[in-house]
Structure formats: structure tokens, C-alpha cells
């Protein structure tokens, strides 16, 4: 697969969008596996819920946990695209959004290698990008709406890859709405099934954010070596 074919030329930095990265059968099986997880695997937040696979990222290092085969398979497919350099993805964050749910604009922080890959399952969403405020400015003088630079439409079964500047120079977030108007402010609209003028009604979306966590602790570094 030649990644360059999928580069989003209108995006302000390195971003790639691969429609139909997974098949409908794979999508169903991913959904089944995610919903088969025991209830405590879900972490409930105010506006979404999530599952961590591979461990819990932590400034002191992630205690690695085994990744099930159904996820590893997808991670290997992404590895094959060489988007993590010499590294391999070792962590998956699953987010579930019901219609009307979203995520506040944020940066993903220093715990991850600067490539984010996301498999999109179930429903579309719109990922919005914003300029951050620097220390001299405040939210009052530069409201979020004035800092919006554009967005990406993520259709079901697609893969999104964001790198470097896209990761460090902008905030990303998902608005808490139940439908989205498709406008020409969507960087990848020419790669989507939807067209400018459409209104897309949101269903339940599950995203798999697949990343590389550089700092990993071996269990014996915590408990001491046992022989």
C-alpha cells in the first residue's frame, strides 16, 4: 500500500486518510469483541466511555499487558504502513461515543510517539482542529470558534493517521452534536462518500486510537527480579 496516495493534501500538516481500511466483517467482529469485554474494562467518563488495551500509559512508564489477537491483527496491518518509524504500536485506546457525545479540544500529550492512528467503527464523526492559545492570549480574547482551522470527516471503517505538526501544532476535538453538516471546510471531503451539503446523523461510534507508548516498564522492574 502506498501511503502517499492517501495523504490529505488540504490538511495543514501530515495527515493520511484511508477509506475502507477494514471490511464490514472486520468492523462487526471488532464491535463484538469490544462489547464482549467485561463491564469493569470500561472506564466511564462524563461524555463518553473508554477501554485501554496494552496497559495504562503513565509518565513513569506503562506496565504492558498482553494484547488480544483480534486487536494485534489490526495493529500489525498498521505497522506494515511504517508510520511509527522503527517502532511498533503497543497501545490501543477504545472510545465509545453515543450520538451527542464528543471530546473537548486537547493535545494528546507527551506519553505517545507523535503518530496517532485511528480505526473508525460504527458511525462517522467529525474531528475538529483548532489553533492553541499561547500564554499571552486567553480563551476570552480568542474563543474556540475563532481558532477553528478545519476538520476531518471520519467515515466508518476508515483509518486516520496524524503525524508531527498535526499532532503538536493544533488541538483536536469532537463536538457534542447529533448530526453534522458536511461543508467544504472538511480537509478530506474529496476522499469521502458524503458530499458537501449532506447532513449526516450520528450513530454510536467506536474509535480505536492505536499508538506507540515509548516508555514501558517490565513487571520485574517494579517488583524486583525474582528467581
Ligand X SMILES: O=C(O)CCC(=O)C(=O)O
**Site for ligand X, rule CB under 6 A:** 93, 95, 103, 108, 118, 127, 172, 207, 209
Nearer to ligand X, 74 or 118 (CB): 118
* Residue least distant from ligand X (Cβ): 207
Q: Are 102 and 174 in contact (CB under 8 A)?
A: yes
Nearer to ligand X, 43 or 215 (CB): 43
Give which of ligand X, Fe ion, none residue 151 binds (C-beta under 5 to 8 Å, depending on kind): none
Q: What is the smallest separation between the CB atom of 117 and Fe ion, expressed in angstroms?
A: 12
3-state secondary structure 77-105: HHHCCCCCCCCCCCEEEEEEECCCCCEEE
Beta strands in the chain (DSSP E): 15-18, 43-44, 49-53, 62-63, 91-97, 103-106, 115-121, 125-130, 148-154, 159-163, 171-174, 179-181, 199-201, 205-211, 216-217
Nearer to ligand X, 163 or 222 (CB): 163
Nearer to Fe ion, 109 or 197 (CB): 109
CA gap 12, 220 in Å, rounded: 43
Give which of ligand X, Fe ion, none residue 206 binds (C-beta under 5 to 8 Å, depending on kind): none
Which of 19, 51, 52, 108 forms a contact with Fe ion (CB under 5 A)? 108
Binding residues for Fe ion, rule: CB under 5 A, are 108
Amino acid at each position: 500500500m502506498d501511503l502517499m496516495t492517501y495523504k490529505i493534501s488540504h490538511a495543514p500538516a501530515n495527515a493520511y486518510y484511508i477509506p475502507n481500511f477494514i471490511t464490514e466483517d472486520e468492523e462487526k467482529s471488532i464491535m463484538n469483541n469490544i462489547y464482549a469485554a467485561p463491564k469493569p474494562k470500561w472506564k466511564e467518563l462524563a461524555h463518553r466511555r473508554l477501554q485501554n488495551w496494552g496497559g495504562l500509559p503513565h509518565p513513569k512508564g506503562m506496565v504492558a499487558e498482553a494484547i488480544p489477537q483480534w486487536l494485534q491483527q489490526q495493529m500489525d496491518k498498521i505497522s506494515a504502513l511504517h508510520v511509527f518509524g522503527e517502532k511498533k504500536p503497543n497501545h490501543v485506546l477504545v472510545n465509545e461515543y453515543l450520538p451527542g457525545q464528543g471530546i473537548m479540544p486537547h493535545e494528546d500529550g507527551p506519553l505517545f510517539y507523535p503518530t496517532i492512528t485511528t480505526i473508525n467503527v460504527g458511525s462517522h464523526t467529525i474531528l475538529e482542529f483548532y489553533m492553541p492559545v499561547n500564554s499571552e492570549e486567553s480563551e476570552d480574547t480568542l474563543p474556540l470558534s475563532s481558532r477553528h482551522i478545519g476538520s476531518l470527516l471520519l467515515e466508518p471503517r476508515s483509518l486516520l493517521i496524524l503525524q508531527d505538526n498535526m499532532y503538536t501544532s493544533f488541538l483536536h476535538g469532537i463536538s457534542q452534536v447529533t448530526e453534522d453538516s458536511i461543508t467544504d471546510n472538511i480537509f478530506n471531503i474529496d476522499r469521502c462518500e458524503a458530499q458537501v451539503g449532506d447532513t449526516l446523523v450520528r450513530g454510536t461510534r467506536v474509535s480505536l486510537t492505536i499508538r506507540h507508548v515509548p516508555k514501558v516498564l517490565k513487571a520485574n522492574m517494579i517488583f524486583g527480579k525474582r528467581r
